[in-house]
Amino acid sequence: MTKSKKQKQKKKDFLKKKLKVGKPTGKPSNSTDTSFTARTLSVRSQLVNNAGDDLRKRLPLLKHHNDKVRKETLGIYIKAIPKIISTQLMTPLISQTSQLICDDSKDVREQLLELFDEVGKHDEQVLKLHCRSLVLYINMGMTHILPRVQADSTKFLGCLLKYCGQEFCDQAWNKLMAGIFRVLSWETQHSKNSNQAAGAMQTSKRDNKFQAAHLSTLYALLECGCKEPTVETTDEDTTSNIQNFEEVQYMTPSFPQAYGYLKLFDKQLKSSSSNKDNSSVSSSDALDVESRIRNVENVYLPTMKKQIEQIIQEGGEAGKNANNIKKLISEIFS
C-alpha cells in the first residue's frame, strides 16, 4: 500500500458525511445486530439465591473507618435477621459485632443494641453460644477510657441479661458486679485506695444522668443472679423428674458450655497477691445462687446499702430504681 493510499484512508475517518433528505444514514462498521429475540435472559451476577453471599461480603464493612458506613451495615443486618438467624452467617456476625460495644460512635452503639435485641427475640441460643466473648467486650466497655462508652456498657448488659442472664451470672458474676460498681463509682470492701476514691468522686458528678440506667441494670443483675428461677411444675413433672434423674445425668445438656466451670481447656494466668485481694470469690465459686448471695453479702452489700439510701433521698428516676434495689435486697436477705 502506497503512502498516498494511507493518507486517503486516514482522511476518510475525519471527513463529515453529507446527509441527504429522505435517505437513511449509513450504519457504522462496528454496529451490532440486535434484531434477535430470546425466551430467557440469565445474568449470573444478579441471581436471587446469592443474597447470603452479599451479606457475607458486607462483614468487613463493620470495621470501616467511617461510622456512617458501620451504622448502615448494622441496619442492613437488622432487617436480614429473620432470614439468616438459622444460618452459619450468625457466628461471624456476632463475633465481629461484639467488638463494636466499645465503638466511639454513639449511633453505632445504639444500632448494635437494636441488633442484639433483634437476635435475642428470634433465637436467644445464638447469644448464649457467644456469651463468653460478649462478657469480655462488656467488661472492656466498663473499663474504657471514654466516659460515653463506659456509660453505654450497662445498656448492653441489661439487654443481654434478658436473653442469657443465667449464663452471664455463671461465667462472670464477680467481673460484672465489680464493673457496675466501677461505673457507678462505688467502693467495695476491697477497694480502699485513696486514689480510686478521688477518681470516683470526679466521675460521679460527670455521670449523674446515666445513674438511673446503671441502677436498673444492677437490679436486673441481682434479680437474675441471686433469685431462684421460678418454674411452674405439676405433680406429674416432679415424679417423672425423680424417676429419670439418673438418665438425665448422661443426656446432652440443654444449655451450652455445661462443663465450662471445670476449665478443662482454659489457660489460667497466675495472679499476683495484689489481684487476689480484689476478688474474694472466683468465677467457679459463683455458679450457684447461694454462693452469689454470699459473695454479695461479704463484698458489695455494705456499700450498696449506704449508696442506695443517699440516692433515694435525692429522688428522681434514679431514686425509684434505688428503691427497687432496696426492696430486692430485703427480699433476698430476709
Residue ranges of domains in the chain: 165-227+281-334
Residue 140: name the closest of 132, 149, 148 by CA: 149
Tell me the C-alpha distance between 120 and 154, whole Å.
17
pLDDT tens digits for the chain (334 residues)?
Answer: 567 888 887 787 777 777 788 887 777 778 887 777 777 766 666 555 555 678 889 999 999 999 999 999 999 999 999 999 999 999 999 999 999 999 999 999 999 999 999 999 999 999 999 999 999 999 999 999 999 999 999 999 999 999 999 889 988 899 999 999 999 988 876 555 444 443 443 444 445 678 999 999 999 999 998 887 665 555 555 555 555 666 767 777 765 566 766 777 666 655 544 444 444 445 555 678 888 898 899 899 999 999 999 999 988 888 999 999 999 999 988 7
Predicted local distance difference test score (pLDDT) of residue 94: 95
Predicted local distance difference test score (pLDDT) of residue 197: 43
Predicted local distance difference test score (pLDDT) of residue 40: 74
Tell me the C-alpha distance between 43 and 272, whole Å.
64
Amino acid at 242: I
Residue 305: name the closest of 318, 323, 320, 290 by CA: 323
Predicted local distance difference test score (pLDDT) of residue 23: 82
Write the burial class of residue 231 (CB in 10 Å: 0-12 exposed, 13-18 middle, 19+ buried): exposed
CB 100, CB 141: distance < 8 Å: no
Predicted local distance difference test score (pLDDT) of residue 194: 40
Predicted local distance difference test score (pLDDT) of residue 73: 95
- Mention every residue, 6+ apart, whose C-beta is less than 8 A from residue 40: none
Predicted local distance difference test score (pLDDT) of residue 4: 81
Predicted local distance difference test score (pLDDT) of residue 143: 92
Predicted local distance difference test score (pLDDT) of residue 112: 96
Q: How far apart are the first and last CA of the chain?
A: 111
Predicted local distance difference test score (pLDDT) of residue 234: 52
